[in-house]
Structure formats: C-alpha cells, structure tokens
A and B are shown apart, each in its own frame.
Chain A
C-alpha cells in the first residue's frame, strides 16, 4: 500500500518532469478550451447591447482625453508657409471631435487629418496650423473639442524641426559619431595597459566596470520612467509597465543567449567567454546609447537643447568610460594583433554606432513610445551584463568571500564616481 502510493507519486513526479501525462491533445480538448471564449463573446455582446451605464439611468458625459505626441515646426518654403504640425492621439474611451484650435489664446486657422476632425479611441491625427512663428519664442497650442474641453501643449522654444535633408542627416551622424563611436574607441585604447594588470588590479577594474554599468543602468531606468510619466505617450499603452516588461524580458533573453553560448562553446578557454562577455557589454552599452542618441535627437528636434561643443565634450567624456567597461573582460586574453584590432573596432561600432541611429530616429521622427522601449531594452541589457561580469568574477575566484575587500569596493565606488562626475558635464 505504502509502496504503491510511493510508486505512484514517483511516477507523477516523473510525468511532471517530462511534461505531464496529458500527451493527447485531441479535438475534444480543443472544444473544451474554446467554450470559455464563446461564453466571453456572448457576455461582451450582452454588454454592448445592454450598456451597464443605463442602469444608473443618467447620461454620463463623454470622457475626452487627447495627448500631443509630436510637434513639427517648419519654416516657409515653396510648398508651405511657416507651420506647426501637431500629432495628437485620442487616449480616452470616447470619440473626440476637434472643433477649434487656439495658438496663444487666439482662434487660428487649421486643417486636420482625418478631415472630419473626429478621432476614435486611440486614433491619431495631424493638425496643420499655418503660423508665422518666431524662433526662440514659446507658444501654447490649445485644442477645443466640440464639447468645449481644452487640451494644451506648450512649445517651450520654437526652433525649426530638422527637415529630412543630407545636411541634417550628416549632422546627426556626426553628433552620434562624436558622442558615440570616437569616445568609446578612445576608451578601448586602455586595452594594452589593462593587459599588464595583476589579478587583483584586474578585479579592481572589473568592479569599476560594474560601477560604471550600474550607474548607466539606473540612469536608463530613471530616464525611461520619466519618459513614461510624461503626457506625450498614451496612458492606454501603459508605458511604465511596458518599460519594466521590456527590461525584464531583455534581461532574461540575453541570459538565455549567454548560457546557450557558454554551453555550446563547452569548456572552451576562458578567453572565449571573455570575448562573448565583451560583446555583451558592447551590445548593452550600444542599446543604452541608442536611447541616448534618441534623446539627443529628440531634444534637438523639439528645440530643447542646442548641441554646443560643451555638451558634446560632456557626452564624450561620459562615454569614454564605456570603452573601458567593454574591454575589461578581455584583459586576460591573448589575441594576435590583427584579430585584436578587428575585435576592438567591431566592439566600438556595436557600442557606439547605435548612437547615430538613435540620433536619426530622434531627430527626424521622435516617438516617445519607441524611446521608452529602447530605454527598457538598454537597461535590461546593461543589468544582464552587470550580472554576467559579477558571475564571472565570482566563478573565477576560489574563495569568493575574499572579493569583499577595500580594493574592489574602491573600484566599484570609483566606477560610480567617474560616471557621476562625467555626467555633471552633460
């Protein structure tokens, strides 16, 4: 009796490990699974026919919610006068009709797509306002809906939105090159000196890298959440939730890849693992830099920053430390010169080039929602790299408790400090 039940339990356990005993997924199972969907459909149909609001017996006023997603400011050309192009989205449950547009408390001529000026739930539209704006001035754009509700957006500094031209394309590429690729390449030049380090000083550098990355990761989270909290992305998209979901899934996905890579490369040399880790760091930083480029481009687009030399210098110093973070896993490895140069350039491009792509995206078609998604991916990647580096340090050490010493602590703190200090310049 006792024995048989134990056997049974063992079998169940076995089944569960193998994926359960229900191996037959027949038609009947499918039908049974569909039943709740049918019931749900019927219930929804009932609700549509019998609006629960009717029970209250009163007519509820419509809930209107409009968000401003993007403002494009154009100067006069042969095809158009000075313009404000305003992208809006209905973020409320009910349709909204845009009846009038005010610029600085004055009714103003406008055209709108869709032409009927009605936006359904989550529908977006574009309002074109010919307006002879003055560079550097602030403008308030207010939309008056058919029911008299107002929605306002403040253009804090009016500057021309960069038009899609070779000039601006190269301008953003140059900015991305200056703040992304060059500083990281310079940081990579620490490689020869890193090679000469003892194990202890290498650990110091690795902890410093962890410090740098944690700062970057936290900064990315804060920026992503700030973007989510703004009024320029529809609440309906749950931007903050989306941010965390993307962050966690990026972390886990990269973790899966890292583990797979380690298993497939088997017990190959530590050097292989170091190179993989370096590329992971470069990828994480690259995604962070994509977000950074996006932010720079968008800020330029909306006239919130002028990309002066000081700002570029600030970004450059900040990002040079990222180069150090990338190569620190490689310190114990030997490559031949040709290979080394190849890898260093490739690492620099992986980490730096996304800045250019980000600047283009942000400069020409800024979308806060995409910004949030990139920030989340960046943060997830950075934290995964932090995890990988830490795991690597611990796995290499016989007595991990020995890692808790002042040298390593100082490395970590120096990492934070360097990032903090260089961030002050931005």
Chain B
C-alpha cells in the first residue's frame, strides 16, 4: 500500500532503462515482431489491425512512428551528388590574389539555422549546411541535415566559399589531405556569424570522406546537424568502380546514407536514430526501389553523436564492404568475385565508429521487400530502419 503512495512517475531521460533486463526484453519483442515478416511492418499503412485472422495474438503493424515526415529531403538526398558550379569571378580573383592554383571545382556553402522534421511531427532546431548553386542552377539555399553531398575527382583543385549565416561560430572541417590553414578546427579558424572563409585544397586521397563543423563544443556542433558527405572518385589512371545499375525509373542505384541521431531533449542521448535524418523514412511506399541483379552502391557514413558506434545490416543478402572507399572493387564473373571475396570484406553487417565510413556494393538476387537497419535493435526501433524494394 505504501509503495502505491510513492508515485513512480518521473521525468527521466528518454532512455531510462539501460539495464540488461530491459534490453533483453525489447530484443525479444523486436524478435517476435520480425516473425510477422514484412507485412507486419508496412509502415506506410499503419493502422492497428486487431485482426482475429492472425492466430498470433500480437496485433500487426505496431512498430515504428505514427504518421509521416512531411517533405522529401531524405528522398532527394539519397541520390543527390553535387559536382560544383562554374567558378565565379570573385573566386578567381581570390585564387589569383592568394596565388592559389586555378580552382577546378567551386562550391558556395552557407551555414544556416533551420528547424528540421526528424521524425513524424517532431521538429529539431537544427544547424545546417546549404549549397548556393549546383552547376548553373540556383538552389533555394536552405540548409538541411545532412548537408549537400560534394563529389569530385581525385586531384581536382577544390575551392569553397563558406558563409556563416548561423547564430554561432562554425567551420567546415574536411576529411582528406590538406594544409593546416584549411583544416577548420582551431579556435582561430572559427568563422563567426556574418563572416565568410575560403577553403582550398586538392582532392586527395580518393575514397569516401565527410565534412563537418569542428567548432566548439564539438559534440554540440555535430549533433545539431552540421555535417555532410564528401566523395572523391579515383583518378581513372588507377581504375574505375563498376558502374551501378539503374532502377525502374532509370535512376543510377548509387545512394548516400549518413547514419545520424538526434538528441531532442538535450540529455546527451539520442531520442531519434535514422539514416539521412528522418526516422523510418524509407519504409512503406517510400522503400528504395532497386532492380534485381543490378549493382547497388551505398556510400555509408556514420556521424551518430553520443554513441560510440553504429551499424548497417541488410536482410537476406550479403555485400562487399570497401572500407573508407580507398580501394577499387570491380565486378566480374564468378571466379573474379571469388578472388574479390578475399580482398574485400564479404558480410551482411558492418560496424562503424563515429566518422568512419565504408562503400557497400551488392546485388539483390531475389525480388521483395528487404529490411536494412542498424543491428543495434535499439537504434532500429528508434528510427534507423529502412527497406529496399527489389523489383524484376
């Protein structure tokens, strides 16, 4: 009786039970949900089917968020690669005055404060990177999370004009090989609100890299959303990656996936996990359509803050993992692939530390809906859950 009187309701961080027991429990629940198969997880059509038809007493279609994220940024982000814009006159002048080599690739990137919907109905006060132009096309210049995927070729001279329109000092810190001056990490390199800075470097080495703000406090600046993917394609002299296949709409099956998380109540733990920001986005009728037996290439980057690792697991298939993308894998006949197996990791689950990345190459031999998600079930059930829809 006394126990009742002590109310046990309390405002606790969203991850209050971290003991082994509770973990085990939802592993079990998660597992039993999986038994229901894909039909039980048709997120697009979430309604409680209390169906007496199922002799399993677990009602179907229960997992996941309720509703949908408005807008289609994750959809566009997935296949958008930005190769720069024509070098404007002021950039040429800047390069000349500093005696830098003539830039091959130019980007103008702005830091902007912007509210982002990270799960259906949940907005996050984000700090974002936005791109001003793509080729000859003027972009709406609204920041997003993750920032634009920058893609160039090994050896190209890159010039970036960075304008800080946000409310805090920011930088762009690129992974890659460059001079100290353009590292964007030290306090004297912070770009204050209203100011701008030029980053210049040669794109090297080839591989899958990333960029992010390196302002202080670092943890905060990263988890607020200031990050993006930076892809350097290999110099053709070393070879080329096997071209990816095309989906039923003729789009190249190359996808950018940034594993991220959001701490919505600022308790130092993520309430939402996802790939490309929006929880449970690529589910239901937003599953990613791919063609059977056509090469799929995923540029997978982990930027998840607060957790030491994140992971990627695909169902009913295996893939090649090219760590950091610093090697070139080519696809060929059976004998060739057998040889590849020894050169590259052949697995169905990879684990990435924060900042670590890997290129994933795979083909789906069977049609159907295939889940992919973090193999930490906790992350999966908190939003990092998605589907490939494999078509004939």
Contacts and interface: CB of A to CB of B under 8 A. Distances in A.
Interface string B52-82: 1000011101111110000000000000000
Say which size band chain A's interface belongs to: 35 or more
B5 A223 contact: yes
Interface stretch (A18-26, A150-158, A208-216, A348-356): A150-158
B4 A152 contact: no
A110 B121 CA distance: 14
Say which size band chain B's interface belongs to: 35 or more
Interface string B151-192: 000000000000000000000000000000000000000000
Given A102-B14, A106-B381, A132-B59, A144 B122 contact: yes
Interface in A144-179: 144-154, 156
A97 interface: yes
B3 to A, nearest CB: 5
B46 interface: yes
A76 interface: yes
A130 B66 contact: no
B382 interface: yes
B120 A100 contact: yes
Contacts of A426: 1
Given A231-B7, A368-B7, A132 B57 contact: yes
B271 A150 contact: yes
Nearest to B59: A81
Interface in A99-144: 99-102, 104-111, 117, 130-132, 134, 137-138, 140, 142, 144
Contacts of A324: none
B13 interface: yes
A294 to B, nearest CB: 10
Contacts of B17: 104-105, 138, 140
Contacts of A156: 8
B335 interface: no
A151 B32 CA distance: 27
Contacts of A304: 3-4
Interface of B is mostly: loop
Contact of B119 (A107, A110, A368): A107
Contacts of B10: 152-154, 231
Interface in B15-37: 15-17, 21-22, 25-26, 29-30, 32
Contacts of A311: 1
Given A109-B46, A109-B66, A144-B119, A104 B59 contact: no
B14 to A, nearest CB: 4
Contacts of B383: 107
A292 B5 CA distance: 11
Given A100-B122, A108-B62, A146-B122, A296 B1 contact: yes
Interface of B: 1, 3-17, 21-22, 25-26, 29-30, 32, 46, 48, 50, 52, 57-59, 61-66, 119-124, 262, 264-265, 271, 279-280, 378, 381-383
Cβ-closest 3 pairs across A and B: A230-B7, A148-B264, A106-B381
